[in-house]
């Protein structure tokens, strides 16, 4: 049997999106800029993990961090063009989940 070779770019993309909380963070920000505390409360993620994921996504060019110089300082996170390009992928996962994933079911 011939073994198929996985495309390294595909493998890297799946690795990125499968990191815990990453897809949920991106999905939340699809609706527009969010502040740290809003993301934290809407997703239910610890501040430490959210901070790590946001920094990682910023380094990968998927989100941008904007500091708004007001008193107190406001920091907002939004998607870059690269980040917004994930919207069709996440919407298709959402569509698939609506048809095939049962809430409360341990089976997927």
pLDDT for the residue 97? 93
Does the structural domain 32-99 have CATH classification 3.50.50.60? no
pLDDT for the residue 48? 96
Domain assignments of the chain as residue spans, ordered by start: 32-99
pLDDT for the residue 4? 73
Q: What is the distance of C-alpha 86 from the center of its chain?
A: 9
Question: Given its phi and psi angles, is residue 7 left (phi above 0), alpha (psi -120 to 50 degrees) or beta?
Answer: beta
Distance, in Å, from the CA atom of 10 to the CA atom of 13, rounded to the nearest integer, reads: 5
Per-residue pLDDT of the chain (108 residues; tens, 9 = 90+): 566 788 899 999 999 999 999 999 999 999 999 999 999 999 999 999 999 999 999 999 999 999 999 889 999 999 999 999 999 999 999 999 999 998 876 654
């Amino acid at each position: 049997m011939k073994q198929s070779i996985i495309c390294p770019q595909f493998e890297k993309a799946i690795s990125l999106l499968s990191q815990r909380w990453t897809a949920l963070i991106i999905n939340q920000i699809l609706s527009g800029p969010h502040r740290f505390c809003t993301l934290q409360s809407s997703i239910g993620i610890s501040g430490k993990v959210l901070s790590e994921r946001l920094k990682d996504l910023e380094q990968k060019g998927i989100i941008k961090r904007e500091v708004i110089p007001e008193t107190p300082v406001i920091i907002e996170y939004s998607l870059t063009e690269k980040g917004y390009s994930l919207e069709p992928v996440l919407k298709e996962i959402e569509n698939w989940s609506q048809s095939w994933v049962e809430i409360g079911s341990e089976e997927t």
